[in-house]
Amino acid sequence: MKQILGTAALTASLLAGTAIAAADSLTLYCSADEAWCQLMARGFEEETGIKVDMTRKSSGETFAQVKAEAANPKGDVWWGGTGDPHLQAAEENLTAEYLSPMRDELNDWAIRQAESAGNRTIGIYSGALGFGYNKDLLEKAGLPAPACWKDLTKPEYKGQVQMANPNSSGTAYTTLATMVQLFGEEDGFQFMKDLHKNINQYTKSGSAPIKAAGLGENMIGIVFMHDAVAQAASGFPIVTVAPCEGTGYEIGSMSIIADARNPESAQTFYDWALTADVQSRAKDVNSFQVPSNTAAVQSPMAPDLSEIKLIDYDFKKYGSSDERKRLLQKWDEEVSNLPQ
């Protein structure tokens, strides 16, 4: 607690000095859950007096927007969403280098994310990939509870599985990249083809499949495990599963957009968003990711990454522009067009 209070005092001093010179507005592109995006936007607005215009889109959609606006940037900060598209944006010089004075308070994985991108992005949270299922629907259908990735390809789950489209969703791209790393490229794509037979819908948003499952519109959703926990915490009959074969994970990231219109406000937000106090607020809106600030307080409901079989996810390779484009094109050509 003393550490958090000390951090808050340091941050208040930091913000006071920076905000004087900062412009009075900020355009924020947010790729986390809507409630968390609103919490960040309104909290920053209230504490600094800087007016925030926030737009919420999935990671893939935001990357596409940032790229489309490169000649005339409209946004200042891109906060949240899986790290792979942030890394691609850094590689393509769509984001700006920035060294925050808050770096010393962050976990090593957050700094590694920054260093791998030439300090054009930074890790703000982490979370493991998995899936969740509606236990009421499962029991009603008389089906066995799935425990492994390959369970989801069994004929009895036909039409019962939902995931996002990897072209628009960072969660789904992480799923695709995870299968390639977990099973090898040939077998990984065969898994995606087999899974396709059971998919009832590819959504735009990565968290949409488990929200649909919570509402009883769908039985199984492939998502980050913290999104499944969030549904359970909200009272929905969702069971969270860490797949038996192992799984990938994300480093949710934050980037300042290159040639931003409000660079001072962008840096002020960046530093503020890395503080322990701000990251501790995630649990207040049922966001259960692991925060990057070592002093941040997370919910006891958050998945314990030390108890999950995680693969050695190659963020540099699968966050690169060429590899990401190649895998997405291959998925479009070999998976999404198959009959169901």
Q: What is the pLDDT of residue 340?
A: 78
How does pLDDT run across 314-329, given as a tens digit for each residue? 999 998 999 999 999 9
> Please, are residues 169 and 153 in contact by the beta-carbon 8 Å criterion?
no
Q: Indicate the pTM of the whole model.
A: 0.85
Measured CA to CA in angstroms, residue 223 lies from 34, 107, 128, 326 at distances of: 16, 24, 9, 22
Exposure string of 300-335, with b = 16+ CB inside 10 Å and e = fewer, is eebbeeeebebbebebeebbbeebbeebbeebeeeb
Measured between alpha carbons, how far is 193 from 316 in angstroms, rounded to an integer? 26
Determine the pLDDT at residue 148.
Answer: 98
Instruction: Compute the CA torsion angle 161, 165, 169, 172 (nearest 10 deg).
Output: 50
Q: Looking at residue 24, what is its pLDDT?
A: 87
* pLDDT tens digits along 136-149: 999 999 999 999 99
Cβ atoms within 10 Å, residue 104: 8
Cα 214 from Cα 219, distance rounded (Å)? 8
Give the rounded percent of residues in the chain with a pLDDT score beyond 70. Answer: 93
Distance CA 164, CA 303 (A): 21
Q: Which domains does the chain show, CATH number per domain? A: 2-126+251-303 (3.40.190.10), 127-248+320-327 (3.40.190.10)
Environment class of residue 46 by beta-carbon count within 10 Å: exposed (0-12), middle (13-18) or buried (19+)? exposed
**Residues in contact with 308: Cβ distance below 8 Å, sequence separation at least 6, in sequence order:** 128, 130, 225, 242, 247
Confidence of residue 23 (pLDDT cuts 50, 70, 90): low
Q: pLDDT, tens digit, for every residue of 259-302?
A: 999 999 999 999 999 999 999 999 999 999 999 999 999 999 99
Q: What does the pLDDT look like over 46-68, one tens digit per residue?
A: 999 999 999 999 999 999 999 99
Quote the mean pLDDT of the chain. 93
Phi, psi (5° rounding) for residue 192?
A: -60, -35
How many residues are there in the chain? 340
Residues 197-235 have pLDDT tens digits of 999 999 999 999 999 999 999 999 999 999 999 999 999
